């Protein structure tokens, strides 16, 4: 995504000069193109839609996107669990993507499978997949902020679960905190949970 944005900005600058960047940014941050389907005017369930619904400035959008990217890079350096990193990359992609619609949130289904051993993350992903949250996206107004806020809560839970520790994948369904030398802190659910 960043490579595409950089390439598009470079081509725009080469073709039209620096004077086109200002109007282009105005169009990109216009409330008219927040990922609204024509058949239902609802903000997109991502950072851009959240900022639009809450009436915040584009600077807040850049800040939130930067925080999501920094968290992802931090997790990539700290976590050695491919399934969890894949789930986090899907969540981060949904949040940062400028052209995300409600039906793109079907990508949360594999996230639910990938994080199923960690109860807190499984519950948050399950909540995001409920019909109530999905239909709230189409309700418009502040209700449409529920899904992106749930995705932010997921990222916060991942940070909370893994802060300050290097996580390795142990036996199937079990994470081992290698720096702590103990398992079980992650609140890993069993088949009966």
Q: What confidence tier does 176 reach under pLDDT thresholds 50, 70, 90?
A: very low
Residues in a beta bridge with 29: none
| Averaged pLDDT for residues 63-74 | 93
The residue extents of the domains of the chain are 34-177
**pLDDT tops 60 at residue 31:** no
Euclidean distance between CA atoms 162 and 69, whole angstroms: 16
What digits encode the pLDDT tens for the residues 32-51?
A: 665 544 334 566 788 888 88
69 pLDDT tier (thresholds 50, 70, 90) = very high
The DSSP element (H or E) to which 114 belongs, if any, is helix 108-114
Q: Residue 184 pLDDT more than 60?
A: no
The structure's pTM equals 0.69
For residue 190, is pLDDT > 60? no
Work out the average pLDDT over 48-77.
Answer: 89
Sign of the C-alpha dihedral computed for residues 107, 109, 115 and 119 taken in this order? positive
Tell whether the model's pLDDT for residue 63 goes beyond 90: yes
As a whole number of angstroms, the distance between CA 54 and CA 37 comes to 19
């Amino acid at each position: 995504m960043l490579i595409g944005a950089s390439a598009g900005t470079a081509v725009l600058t080469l073709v039209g000069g620096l004077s086109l960047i200002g109007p282009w940014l105005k169009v990109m941050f216009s409330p008219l193109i927040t990922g609204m389907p024509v058949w239902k005017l609802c903000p997109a369930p991502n950072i851009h839609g959240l900022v639009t619904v809450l009436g915040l400035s584009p600077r807040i959008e850049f800040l939130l996107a930067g925080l999501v990217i920094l968290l992802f890079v931090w997790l990539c350096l700290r976590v050695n669990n491919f399934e969890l990193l894949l789930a986090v990359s899907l969540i981060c992609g949904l949040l940062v993507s400028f052209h995300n619609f409600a039906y793109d949130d079907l990508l949360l289904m594999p996230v639910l499978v990938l994080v199923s051993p960690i109860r807190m993350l499984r519950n948050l992903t399950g909540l995001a997949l409920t019909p109530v949250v999905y239909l709230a996206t189409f309700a418009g107004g502040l209700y449409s902020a529920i899904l992106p806020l749930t995705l932010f809560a997921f990222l916060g839970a991942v940070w909370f679960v893994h802060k300050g520790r290097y996580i390795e994948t142990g036996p199937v369904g079990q994470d081992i905190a290698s720096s702590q030398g103990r398992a079980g802190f992650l609140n890993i659910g069993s088949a009966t949970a």
